[in-house]
Amino acid sequence: MTPPRANSNAARDIANALHPYTDLRTHLEVGPVVIARGEGVHVWDDQGKKYIDALAGLWCASLGFSNERLVQAAVKQMRTLPFYHSFAAKSHEPMIDLAEMLIQRAPVPMSKVFFANSGSEANDTAIKMVWYFNNALGRTKKKKLIGRVKGYHGITVASASLTGLPVNHRSFDVPLPGFIHTMTPHHYHMAESGESEEAFATRCADELEKLILAEDPDTVAAMWAEPVLGAGGVIVPPRTYYEKIQAVLKKYDVLLVADEVICGFWRTGNYWGSQTMGLQPDILTCAKALSSSYLPISAVMVNERVFQGLADESHKIGTFGTGFTYSGHPVPAAVAVETLKIYDETDIGTHVRQVGPYMQNELRRRLGEHELVGEVRGLGLIAGVELVADKAAHKNFEPGQKIGARAAKLMEANGVIGRAMVNDLLGFCPPLIVTEAEVDEFIDGTVKALDELAVQLRREKITVVG
């Protein structure tokens, strides 16, 4: 690898920037891909190379990279009211409009909306709300929170404790006490021989109930669930899973928090992943596609029962003592309002329900039988392609071989930006506006990349069992 030339953007980045989710030592030698501009579903780096962004940035640029209506919404609001806060009962029209629109579109009846700046902050705030709610009810011991192994809910100290991925725990001294995890609902890797999806779902629910009983139901407050697990591997839970899980939670009065940060706003083919997968959450968190990620904003919706608890406790104390300077910031809120209007006016849901099945079918048709691919999974416009060393045994490559990361780099060389994740999974989550021809474009580049990788592995004598 040729080192970045002196005074280039890449060299300046190496000298000054600290990157998330990056091998910081290797970055000093290799440097970044510097993205310079975007149009539609494509971006260009500062060397002029064109890529199709098959991950919509980070699962988030739902309307692509050049929507002029969102730009103008931001400009108009900047000229009208560039900032105001929402502390001490202050408000403004963009925040009011957005809260109203979210309540109207909620998958189940919701009462109020709290605004933050990221999915991590939304989930962190929801954690505090759950604790605050139980204190309001005098249930001072009912505080433990359940995440799932391979679930992802953010990277603040508390939300990272909910997250169930080792890379987000190791060396950060999390999870904190009181955060517990139940099994991953992934039939491909976790099912026993001959176990049907329904039987596996029953076992998942039984394991959850055993966990709650072992911890003491009077100490367990809430469970977090992404309708479809995203960063943990694009895992679609098996049939009947949520029906059975929710029965357990209801039995022990454990709140359900739906993390819709990735799944919300049509990603799975419905407005909310909760509708696709049959969740009835007490609290819902969302971000990313809320503003097509043109500006940072997130939201927490709570139902009436939870809100009444929050209201009672805040009245007792004198204030609801949490929030952020930028909670409900008028400019991101105005952009989010415009984003939701665009979804409605362009009937983006119908488009996703047409292009989503095409993407799922083509990924399975063209990659499902590839010698390196163990499973293709997903729904709507989110999918994962898992690379394995042994198809029959569902056995992954050794982590040190970094097969997924190598595949992602070869994809970039072929003009496709995806993401390599846990278990050498390649994630795909294109902007919602993607066309069938553009789906073909990123699948073409991915096929070429995997073919090149297979040749490299044979030369390196790395065994792959088809």
Are 255 and 131 part of one and the same domain? yes
Phi and psi angles of residue 154, each rounded to the nearest 5 degrees, phi first: 125, -175
Q: What are phi and psi of 101, to 5 degrees?
A: -65, -40
Q: How far is CA 378 from the centre of its chain?
A: 13
Same domain, 253 and 119: yes
- Sequence letter at residue 343: Y
How do beta strands 416-417 and 50-53 pair? parallel
H helices present in 43-118, as ranges:
56-59, 68-80, 93-105
Range of the domain at 141: 69-345
Residue 97: per-residue pLDDT: 98
| Per-residue b or e along 149-169, where b marks 16 or more CB atoms closer than 10 Å to that residue's CB | bbbbbbbbebbbbbbbbeebe
How far is Cα 209 from Cα 204, in angstroms, rounded to an integer? 9
In this predicted structure, what is the pLDDT of residue 3? 63
Rounded CA-CA distance 369/95 in Å is 49
Q: Within 13 Å of residue 20, how many CA atoms lie on the same side as its CB?
A: 5
Domain total of the chain: 2
Amino acid (one-letter) located at 260: E
* Banded model confidence at residue 1, pLDDT cuts 50, 70, 90: low
With CA atoms as reference, report the closest residue to 258 among 401, 237, 403: 237
Digit-coded pLDDT (tens) for 162-173: 999 999 999 999
pLDDT at 6: 74
Residue 10 in any domain: the answer is no
- The CATH number given to whatever domain includes residue 340 is 3.40.640.10
Cis peptide before 175 (omega within 30 of 0): yes
pLDDT of residue 463: 87
pLDDT at residue 146 tops 90: yes
- Percentage above 90 pLDDT, the chain: 98
Identify whether 340 is part of a domain: yes
Closest CA to 301 of 271, 276, 331, 330: 271
Which band of pLDDT confidence, cut at 50, 70 and 90, is reported for residue 466? confident
Residue finishing a domain among 345, 362, 383: 345
Q: Answer yes or no: do 157 and 245 share one domain.
A: yes
User: 55: pLDDT confidence band, cut at 50, 70 and 90?
Assistant: very high
My answer on whether 222 and 334 are in the same domain is yes
User: Do 48 and 102 belong together in one domain?
Assistant: no
| pLDDT > 60? residue 345 | yes
Q: Residue 41 is part of a domain; what is its CATH number?
A: 3.90.1150.10
- What whole-number distance in Å separates Cα of residue 177 and Cα of residue 230? 25
Domain-located, residue 9: no
Same domain, 452 and 372: yes
- 43: nearest Cα among 54, 32, 59: 54
Q: What pLDDT, on a 0 to 100 scale, did the predictor assign at position 465?
A: 87
Average pLDDT over residues 393-421: 96
With respect to residue 16, please indicate whether it lies within any of the assigned structural domains: no
Q: Indicate whether 93 belongs to any domain.
A: yes
pLDDT at 90 over 70: yes
Q: Per the domain annotation, does 5 fall within a domain? A: no
In a shared domain, residues 341 and 368: no
> 302 exposed, middle or buried (CB, 10 Å; 0-12, 13-18, 19+)?
buried
Mean pLDDT across the chain = 97
Kindly state the helix (H) or strand (E) to which residue 402 belongs, with its residue range: none
Q: Are residues 169 and 298 in the same domain?
A: yes
Give the pairing of strands 179-182 and 298-302: unpaired
In a domain, 306, yes or no: yes
Domain limit, last residue, from 303, 321, 345: 345
326: number of Cβ within 10 Å: 19
pLDDT of residue 10: 96
Return the pLDDT at 330: 98
Question: Residue 25 domain-assigned?
Answer: no
The model's pLDDT over 206-216, given as tens digits with 9 standing for 90+, comes to 999 999 999 99
Distance separating alpha carbons of residues 388 and 404, to the nearest angstrom: 10
Across residues 63-83, what is the average pLDDT?
A: 98
Are residues 44 and 101 located together in one domain of the fold?
no
End-to-end CA distance of the chain: 32
Separation of CA 368 from chain center: 24
Q: Which residue is listed with tokens 């022990």?
A: 252
Please, are residues 216 and 181 in contact by the beta-carbon 8 Å criterion?
Answer: no
Model pTM score: 0.96
Residues 235, 354 within the same domain: no
- Tokens representing 386? 């898992």
169 and 37 belong to one structural domain: no
Point out which residues pair with 360 in neighbouring strands: none
Contact of 130 with 222, CB cutoff 8 Å: yes
Same domain, 77 and 47: no
Ramachandran class of 393: left when φ > 0, alpha when ψ lies in -120 to 50, beta otherwise: alpha
CA 109 to the chain's CA centroid: 23
- pLDDT at position 7, please? 83
Tell me how long the chain is.
466
Domain-terminating residue out of 318, 345, 372: 345
